[in-house]
Structures are given as C-alpha cells and as structure tokens.
Structure 1
C-alpha cells in the first residue's frame, strides 16, 4: 500500500516485507494548461515545460553533482534522468510520468549523504495555473512500475500560486540507511541554480 505523503513527512525506505529499497524511481507527472477561447467558446491547450532535477551533496552539505535535462547521468552513473518533457500531458492525465529520475543507492558515491529533488517551470508557468502535478516513488523502471512506495500531490495548494519552482523532497542518509523527507515547498526562485542554493541553505 503506497503512502500518501504529507508535506514535511519523513519516511524510511523500508518495504512491507522489511527489506530496504535500493533502486527507486521518482516519477513526475503534470498537465498542460487548458484555456477557454474568447467569449467562452472553444478551448486551447498550452504546453507546460516542467523540469525535474536532483542535486547531490556530501556529509558536509557541499554540492558534488547535479542531474537535470542538461546532464542526464550522475558522474557515478547511479542516477539517471529520462530526458526533458517539453509539454506535459496535452490530452488530460494519462496516468504516466512525464519525467523519471532513477536512483540506485547501491551504486551511489559513498560520499553522498543527500539527494535533493527539485521542480522548475522552464518557461515561467505559475504552478497555481497547472491543473495537476504529482510525484511518486516506486520500484521498477521508467516504463514499468513494480510497486508504488509513496505518492505526493504537489500542486493542489493555494500556496503554490505565484511560484515557478519548488523543492520536492530530500533523500538523506542516517547511520547508513536512506530516508526521505517530503518537503513540498514552493520557492520564489526563477532558475535551477537559485533553487539549488535554496536547498543548500534551508533543507539539508
């Protein structure tokens, strides 16, 4: 049974059978914006380009690597990005992830203690105008979901209106065990570099 995450909730990566998740996917799903035509007649669909990214830090909270649409693999090859989705779901929610970032904790550089996930609106679309956006953590591959471990709805809150970036959550290592902190906080940042700085200062 998947956990419906709440903002600020912290969970361990332990499955129902007691084993630990070692290889996970973070899938991001969002919708294009449907606009009504003049005088209320007709509709048009506007593409939304959201960018999922993750930043890797060592135990001293020093940035060591970034995975995003411009660098699809971490240096240790433990983290992979599925590639840039430029539109979102144009025909309504199809139930599939638009972007997926996979993490293999067993291959991750041992010096890495934090893996932070962020979401930025490349063209500056206000999160408050996007019809739906969510993340889910699951076992499997970008094309095959074995078991959904946790789900998190990130867009249906008034606090997201006016923001074009957010910190989704942070995986962090404690005593050799990985846990997840569901942050879900919008920021006033405009670019990925600014969001990474916000994470460094506030969420590690």
Structure 2
C-alpha cells in the first residue's frame, strides 16, 4: 500500500523496498472551470541537481524539449497539452542505479505554460499530485497530494528524490513560486 505524504514529510524509498531499481514518477492535475479564452497547459519538468542544489549544465534540465538526462537514467515520457482524463498526466521514468553519482537530488516541478500572458495560476488547478511507482510491478509506493494551498503561484516544486547514506529518499516539498518556469530555471543555476 502506498505511503501518503503531507507537505514537508520525508520518506525512505529504497531502504524499505530492497531491490528497487526502476521507478516511474507520475504527476497529475485537473484544472477548475476556466473561461479565459486560452487553453490551460501544465508542464512537468525535472532538474538534476548537484550537492550545491544546482544543475551542472542545460542537459540537467529535463522537460518537453529535452526528454532525457543523467546519461539516459531519467526519461520524461512527453508533454500532455490538455491534462484531460484520469491517471497521470505526465510521467518520468528513472533507473535509480544509473543516475550519475554527481547528481544528489532530482527535483520535480509543475509549471503553467505562458501563465502570465494567459492570466492563469495554480489557484485554478486542483487535484495535483505526484506519485512514485515501482516500474517492475506497477505498485504505487509513495503518493503526495498537493492540496489547494496555492493561489497566485505559476510554478510548484512538488518534491525531490535525494540520496542519503547510499539510499534514495523522497521529500514532499509543495512550494509555490511566482515567475513560472523562468524563476525555477534561474534558482537551479541555469540561464532563463
């Protein structure tokens, strides 16, 4: 049975699941009734971070225009433009053993495409979550439902996988940002 996390909670991933090698990180969301005349496109992005919490290069920023990073250990399965339907809207597949040793953290974010121009924010989004699934048997291991804490934010860091004493753990972050993807890119050490 999946461990359900609350904001700020950290949980062990690999120690409690010995032999866990491949995971799928699923991200999902729904948009509330919105009649602003624009489509509502949310995007998941992944940042591969060194010990200082920064990306070493552009290759460590994984999103709809760069679907693979970490020498192929982290693969984004592609952009979902509408968020329609049940289940995960976007997924990231990770081979834990193949993540380069220089990568200490893997941060998962959701941003609203062109949010400022379209006058959209996370106050118009509901049922956001991140979940980690064992790819081998499709068992959901961890789930974090973000709740309705956001109003004016246009980007959210949902959580991080991080190394601790040779094991992988997950931290449910749930921090909102204004400034969308550009502010995240800058905070993680890249040029916007």
The residue that corresponds to 1:19 in the other structure is 18
> With CA pairs under 8 Å and 6+ residues apart, which has the higher RCO, 1 or 2?
2
The residue that corresponds to 2:4 in the other structure is 4
Contact 1:33 1:45 in 2 (8 A): no
1:51 maps to which of 43, 47, 70: 43
Residue by residue over 1:15-34, the C-alpha shift from the partner in whole angstroms, topping out at 9 and shown as x without a partner, is 76x51532111111122443
Residue by residue over 1:124-144, the C-alpha shift from the partner in whole angstroms, topping out at 9 and shown as x without a partner, is 121111232222111128xxx
Residue by residue over 1:143-191, the C-alpha shift from the partner in whole angstroms, topping out at 9 and shown as x without a partner, is xx7100111112x32x30111101111111112111111101111122x
Where do 5+ consecutive residues of structure 2 fail to align? none
Q: State the number of aligned residues.
A: 182
The residue that corresponds to 1:138 in the other structure is 133
Q: Which has the larger radius of gyration?
A: 1
The residue that corresponds to 2:162 in the other structure is 172
Matched, 1:30 2:29: yes
Q: Alignment RMSD, CA only?
A: 2.4
Matched, 1:68 2:68: no
User: Could you state the TM-score of these two structures normalised by the residue count of structure 1?
Assistant: 0.80
Contact 2:177 2:183 in 1 (8 A): no
Paired with 2:101 and 2:45, the residues of 1 have a C-alpha distance of 20
Contact 1:139 1:148 in 2 (8 A): yes
The residue that corresponds to 2:87 in the other structure is 96
Where do 5+ consecutive residues of structure 1 fail to align? 37-43
User: Could you state the TM-score of these two structures normalised by the residue count of structure 2?
Assistant: 0.84
Residue by residue over 1:73-131, the C-alpha shift from the partner in whole angstroms, topping out at 9 and shown as x without a partner, is 01500000111111111xxxx43211101111111111111111111000312111123
Tell me which stretches of 4 or more aligned residues in structure 1 moved more than 3 Å: 44-47, 196-200
Paired with 2:126 and 2:153, the residues of 1 have a C-alpha distance of 14
Contact 1:134 1:153 in 2 (8 A): yes
